[in-house]
Structure 1
Amino acid sequence: MPALYIMIPAALLIVAIAIYIFFWAVDSGQYDDLDGPAHSVLFDDQDPNHLAAIDKAKSPEPPAAAKDPPHA
């Protein structure tokens, strides 16, 4: 029973700290843009217009018959 006299206030202190940290994160804007970081992973920072992919799509590839046949 004496352990409860220490455990209950310690648990309440931990809950109070967790609530404080949560409200601090909300007030500081941590949850403002939830989709931006997830989408930014998909795009290249060096080439924001993805010009390399556009150029490759526009350039005609030689037909499959024009390539050398595989050698055995």
Structure 2
Amino acid sequence: MSILYLLIPLSLILLGLAVWAFFWAVKHDQFEDLEGPAYRILFDEDENDRPREPEASSEPDAPRDEDRRD
């Protein structure tokens, strides 16, 4: 019976944390777009997903900045 003196306040604290986390998520727009990420994965229309084409250069054998090692 004495364990209830510990469990009841502990459960109220956890409940308070859950309510605070819910309102924090609502305030920071975590529930704004629920369907967007589900549909976004189906379409490959992003520019970031395409491989970059090599840029034409007047000096074809010139080393690029990424190839140089100090």
Structures share a fold, TM > 0.5?
yes
- Aligned partner of 2:17 in structure 1 is 17
Larger Rg belongs to = 1
After the TM superposition, which parts of structure 1 deviate over 4 Å for at least 4 consecutive aligned residues?
none
RMSD: 1.1
Instruction: Please give the residue correspondences for 1:1-72 in structure 2 after superposition, counting only pairs within 5 Å.
Output: 1-44=1-44, 45=46, 46=49
Q: How far is the alpha carbon of 1:10 from its aligned partner?
A: 0.2
Q: Could you tell me which amino acid in structure 1 is paired with residue 22 of structure 2?
A: F
Q: Could you tell me which amino acid in structure 2 is paired with residue 25 of structure 1?
A: A
Q: How many residues align?
A: 47
Structure 1 length normalisation: TM-score?
0.61
Identify unmatched segments of 5+ residues in structure 1.
48-72
Structure 2 length normalisation: TM-score?
0.63
Q: How far is the alpha carbon of 1:36 from its aligned partner?
A: 0.6
